[in-house]
Amino acid sequence: MKMKNSIKLTAIALAATFGLAAAASAADAAGQIPPASTKQGVTYATDIKSIFDNSCVKCHSGDKPKARLKLDSLENALKGGKDGKVITTGDSAKSFMVKCVAHVTSDHDSWMPPAHNKANIGPLTPEQIGLIRAWIDQGAK
């Protein structure tokens, strides 16, 4: 009887691992993303632009921005890039930008800033990610 239960548990674990991998990774990602800042009235001009200027615009501005995504202005950030919008206004947990800066996407090429970049820009801090989340949750203004 114990052997049958053990086989059933193994089968369930394998099914969960392979069959529900997307759901599991989404749940894991949600737990790994720093929480939104509690700061109210977060705006691009007062809080986010300086983060983007220091960590993003070296690659995401100018005539040939990476992924055709410009983060040098509010309008450009909201517009998105070659793959569409990266900000889901009002829902930071669903925003691709947040997943990229929090390094929770399974595609390591989408981690921003990239781990090995020419400008030696380090990853965003949990506080910076929290501010970006609050900005997005508050309407990305």
90 vs 6 pLDDT, higher one: 90
Beta bridge mates, 81: 84
For 25-49, what is each residue's pLDDT tens digit? Answer: 453 345 689 999 999 999 999 999 9
Stated pTM of the model: 0.78
The conformation of residue 81, written as its DSSP 8-state character, comes to B
Q: How far apart (Å, rounded) are the C-alpha atoms in residues 83 and 117? A: 21
In 3-state terms, what secondary structure has residue 42?
coil
SS3 category, 84: strand
Give the pLDDT score at 31. Answer: 65
